[in-house]
Chains A and B, each alone.
Chain A
Amino acid sequence: MSTKEKNMKKVLVQVICMLCLLSSCTGKNNSKVDIKSLGFARELAVVEYRFNNVAIISQSKGEGLTHLLEKDRAMFIEYEGTIKLGIDTTELIQDGGVIKIPKAKVLAVLDDPDTYQYVASKDSFFNKNKIEDKTIKDAIRQANDKQKAYMVGNEDEMNKAQELAEMYIREFIDSVDKDNGFKYKKQ
């Protein structure tokens, strides 16, 4: 082997070693620690709505060499769930002889997993255009958020829920002491 070839080999080995070192340094370590704690809930739920959602996911085929022979895809997801309206009892305020009832809010939007049904269009045999789990999660979250937004904007139903909560609290306090003399007001 000539001197020139030997030198070329040395340089090549050094370059490969450098590349290996660099690749080991570029890995990112993003650790995440998320601690949630037990807590007291003080919620009085007074109305429960049942809803039916249909989410339609449309995923078009990609462009370019790696997306050759892909097909447009669609998935339909149908499910039921519940929305609960009520009050946070920690927000009850006693002002002298007046008990102020807090405004009603959406306490929970819960999709019922036992009611889920879904169907997807056929995928290409040659190049898959899979509808990923992330897309399905996003679709369901979007559907639930839409329900919540509708209810939050529905002043009529929120007022009715607040009145119902007031009635429950009044009845409870009256059943302990009929002559309590308290008055009730909305916050």
Chain B
Amino acid sequence: MNVIDQEVYMNNDGKNQKVKEGMEEKVKKAESFLKTLFASKRLLIVTALVIVAIIFFIGVITSKSGKTKTDVYSVLVDKKVISELSTMYIPYSSIYKAEEPKKKETDKTKYKYYASYEGYVKLGIDFKKAKIEEKINTNEVYIKLPMMRITEQYVNMDSINIIFEDKKYDKEGYIIEVKKECQKDMSKKITDNARFYSMAKESTIATINHLLEPLIKKKNKKIIVEIEQ
């Protein structure tokens, strides 16, 4: 026992003696544990792996994604007076299959991607081109309207979902190219569908009659509307 230990003992402080004995026991246990640990290589490797896994896990859960900011600059560049009367609204959804260009005609068709999209098309007429012909001595008025056409078409970019068959097309910003193709696809499919045009004609005639309703009621006119084919 050294001098300090003697003094503590001679102060008759039983509590200090017990604490000192306790500390010595803990140190001995720790030394024993470390000896066992370093003695077994397998245990050492497992311990190292566990520590690395814990560090990695903490690194992953504390990771934060970067922030995104968008600035927008807009200018109006042109103004045009128009007279479009839209009379039919057609919501549309479809799947566009983008074909890979074929090297030979006999090659099997391959696809770059498949894109599902939603959009709409409006059909109508150029209102200013309506021709009015009133028959003399009768209450009949003939209105000849120009041909039906697409007045508006739009594919909603938010609705586009893509499955890439060829991963080389899965590039940043490619969705913009896909939107162009989907819009062309929708326009073609609507144009080829005669049923939509026939429904739009009925709607146009109803719209013109609605516009002339005040006149029909007041002057008891009979309105006959025809649409150019």
Contact = CB atoms under 8 A, between A and B. Distances in A.
A146 B160 CA distance: 22
A65 B215 contact: no
A106 interface: no
Contact of B59 (A65, A97, A130, A175): A65
Contacts of A94: 213-214, 217
Interface in A111-155: 111, 113-114, 116, 118, 120, 123, 129-131, 133, 135-143, 146-147, 150
A103 interface: no
A45 interface: yes
A143 to B, nearest CB: 4
Given A57-B70, A147-B74, A67 B90 contact: no
A60 B66 contact: yes
B82 A45 contact: yes
A38 B91 contact: yes
B175 interface: yes
Interface residues of B, number: 72
Interface string A46-58: 1111111111111
A54 B155 CA distance: 20
Interface residues of A, number: 82
Contacts of B81: 46-48, 164
Nearest to B141: A176
A40 B134 contact: no
B158 A67 contact: no
B79 A136 contact: no
Contacts of B211: 89, 92, 169, 172-173
A54 to B, nearest CB: 5
A116 B180 contact: yes
B72 A41 contact: no
B73 A59 contact: no
A117 to B, nearest CB: 9
B60 interface: yes
A67 B72 contact: no
Nearest to A132: B172
A64 B60 contact: yes
B127 interface: yes
Contacts of B132: 175-176
Interface string B177-221: 001100100000000000000010001001100111111011101
Contacts of A143: 72, 74
A156 interface: no
B93 to A, nearest CB: 8
A47 B83 CA distance: 8
Interface in A62-100: 62-67, 70, 72, 75, 77, 80, 84, 86, 89-90, 92, 94, 97, 99
Contacts of B217: 94
Nearest to B218: A180
Interface of A: 36-67, 70, 72, 75, 77, 80, 84, 86, 89-90, 92, 94, 97, 99, 107-108, 110-111, 113-114, 116, 118, 120, 123, 129-131, 133, 135-143, 146-147, 150, 164, 168-169, 172-173, 175-177, 180-182
Interface of B: 56, 59-60, 62-91, 122, 124, 127-128, 130, 132, 134, 141, 143, 151-152, 154-155, 157-158, 160, 162, 172-173, 175-176, 179-180, 183, 199, 203, 206-207, 210-215, 217-219, 221, 223
10 contacts: A41-B87, A44-B85, A54-B73, A63-B63, A67-B63, A67-B65, A113-B155, A137-B158, A137-B175, A146-B74
- Which 4 residue pairs are nearest across A and B when measured between Cβ atoms? A64-B63, A65-B59, A50-B78, A36-B91
